[in-house]
Each structure stands twice: as structure tokens, then as C-alpha cells.
Amino acid sequence: MKMTVIGTGYLGAVHAACMAEIGHEVLGVDNDEAKTAALASGRTPFFEPGLQELITRGIDSGRLRFTTSLEQAARFAGLHFLCVGTPQCPDGPGADLRQVDAVVDGLAPHLLPGALIVGKSTVPVGTAERLTARLRAAGAPTAHLAWNPEFLREGHAVADTLQPDRLVFGTASADAEKVLSEVYAPLIRSGIPCVATDTATAELVKMAANSFLATKISFINAMAEVCDAAGADVTVLAHAIGYDNRIGRPFLNAGLGFGGGCLPKDIRAFRARATELEVGSAVAFLSEIDEINLRQRRRTVDLTSRLAGGSVTGRRIAVLGAAFKPDSDDIRDSPALAVAAQLHREGALVRVHDPQALENARAAWPQLDYASRVDKACEGADVVLHLTDWAEYRALDPDALTPLVCRPRLLDARNSLNPDVWTRAGWQYAALGRLGALSHPSSDAPVSASG
């Protein structure tokens, strides 16, 4: 089947490559000429495990091409996947839909009769209905809108596209549902569950899923605060309650909290849209979820100060991690960089390492110091912070780092290193939710990564 994928960022590039991988003829579209040229030459402009190989295979097979022309895209096929960004509005918590609107406006005059536009971007409920009216007003009376939300985890996006937990088709007609069933036929035949519904429910499914995940993460981080006050161990608490199949163990990992381009802005946009629908009180709890998440950053800064002897001014701090999560080079709303930047503001000498995100971090925060190797980042450090849970960091040998640091002090803000290994090597080990004597916060003010 011929199709276009409009927007070739973390979502669109993966979707385009995976659709070509399962046999479709795909034209990727983006208004960023440098990104389009890179993809057309077989180079991925960001890090995502497995994507480079898929892009190469798609181009070599002739099933995957790229362009900057929306007009060419509209005439290439009657099926268009919309994968552009929906960031937070610059002046409020709602979703900024200008890119979505611009694509629909650009396509409308050139669409083939009966064209189907399928949204994958995360949007407020009611967007498909609004865009349908926009298409009609722009002179595309036979075009249709559907919504097929994505549920990708950066670092696992290829597998999450080719072997998803479920497919959701939000459509307004049996014909649109049939088209989507044909697109995903190989996945459906393999037994992937498929939920067919209306567009409004499909839009809400993604917002609800992200809100639930954010709630679960912030819940265990709230429990970490209580554990610190009570002298309890949040990792054991999470393990114990996780045996209950009504609760489950995944996403009960206390630590620095969530970031990235999805969860933070999505829960804020959901809250804003619910307020517009006059049901804001139904999701008012999301404000506290957001606040708990941001508070973990402040608590990490405060615990670093305690480990450094009461102040970070003039102290050298090694920061292990810049990406918002492992297996990605994405630094959008990165908790690790938010902490690094705040420590810098408070007078610390911060040196950052990350296996993939150094270039992006350096561009966003040139004030910080960077090291291409972990040992260089740790040289002379008064405190070492583990802020992004890369496998490389979990495999570190503390005995090898001890001669390099000024003082062997570790803050494991992801609660994923083995404290026994580090303490046996002579390190002072601290982690949120596990050492109450060290982790009482001195301030509840959130820390932002913007700068």
C-alpha cells in the first residue's frame, strides 16, 4: 500500500521505516531540509536502537523515500499518517497544535479524492472532529480523518511499532477502519489486539494511558518521600506491593522521575483540555502528579548538597546521564540535565557524561562541562550522581573509580545500582527513598530544565 508519513522526528521516522519494513511503499515528509537529506542518504538524525538498519533496508528496497514537499505527498498516495510534534504551548499548559493545523492546511488543496488522514500525534480530544471541519472549509469535501495513537517508548520504538501491546483505530467510517486493518494486517495476523472505536475515544486512550503511567511513577516517588521521613526502604516497598496483580511491579521504580517529550506535556495538556470541557476537577490530581515529579529534581539537588558537606558551591560534581532516559539521545525536559543545570546555578563545577546525548546537551547547556568518558567525568569529583539509567553505568566498577574521585560519594538517583557493591568498595551510597537521614528536602521548589 502507498502512504506518506508526515513528520520524521522520533515518532515519524520510526513509523515510516517500520511501515516500509512490513512491505508498504512509504514517502516520508518533513519541512526540515537537513533532516530530510540525512534520512534520504540513510542516516538517522537521532539515536534510536535498530532504526538505522530499518532505514537502510527501506531505502535499499526502494520502499522508503523522503521529501520536503507536502504537495508531492498529497499526490503520492491517498493515505497520510500525521506524526508532527504537539509540544506544550509557549504561554500555557495546553497542546500547541500549529504543526498539525499547518499540515492539514498544506495537504487540503492537493489531496486525492477520498483521501484518509490518520493522526498518530498525541492531541487533545476533539482534534479529529475539528480537523475534519477544517478540511471541509479548505475545499477537501471527500477527505476523512482517523486517529491511530502511538504508544512508543523511546529506546524501544522499533519493537513497540512492529510488536505493539495493542492497536487502536479511531474512525468515523467502516471504510477508514478497513484501510487501517489492511495497513496493519501483518501485525493483526500475528495476534496483536486491535481496538476499534470512535475518534474521540482513540484520542483519549493515549492521554489516559500517559496520565496513568505518570500517576504510577509519581505515586512511588511520593512513597519515597514518606520512606525517607520514616527511615524505610522504598525499593522493598515497591517490590512488596508489586506482587499484587491489581498494582503490578512495572513503573514502580522510585527515583528522579519522568521527563521527555511526552509524559510531562501530555498530562498538562490533558488537564487543560478537561478544563475547557468543564470537567477539570475530574483530573485535578494531575497537578499534584506533575508537582511530585518536579519535586524529585529539587530533592536530588538538596541531597547532593548534603553529600557535598552542606553546599555544592565550588564542589566538583560528576553527572552520569544527560538524556531523559537510557537508549535515547533525547534531552527534552531531561530530569538529569535539570539537576545538572540547577547545581551549576548554585555554584557547583558540573561535568556531564552520556553515551549518546552529549552533543544535544552541549547545544542546550554550553555552560556545563562535558566528558566523553565516564572516568574523565569522575576525575576529582566530590560527588558522583547517577541520573540516567544506562546499562553502561550499572556495569561500572566502583573500585576502578575510587582513585579518580576526590571523595567516594555516590547518589544513585535511579535506584538501580547495587548499594552493597558500592559500599564494600568504600563509597558512601545514597538514594531517594532509602536513606532518610540524608534525604529530607530543604525546599519544595521545582527545578526546570529550561534555559
Residues annotated catalytic, as ranges: 262
How buried is 244 (Cβ within 10 angstroms: 0-12 exposed, 13-18 middle, 19+ buried)? exposed
Helix-helix angle 285-307:199-230, to 10 degrees: 40
Q: Where are the alpha helices (DSSP H) in 50-189?
A: 51-61, 70-76, 98-107, 127-137, 157-162, 174-183, 185-189
Q: Cβ distance 104 to 135 under 8 Å?
A: yes
Sign of CA dihedral 84, 88, 91, 97: positive
Q: Cβ distance 117 to 199 under 8 Å?
A: no
DSSP code, position 112: P
Three-state DSSP class for residue 451: coil
What is the Rg, in whole angstroms, of the alpha carbon atoms belonging to the chain? 23
Helix (H), strand (E), coil (C) string for 276-312:
HCCCHHHHCHHHHHHHHHHHHHHHHHHHHHHHCCCCC
Three-state DSSP class for residue 432: coil
Q: Which of 78, 127, 72 is CA-nearest to residue 101? A: 127
> Could you tell me how many residues make up the chain?
451
Q: Which of 435, 439, 424 is CA-nearest to residue 234? A: 435
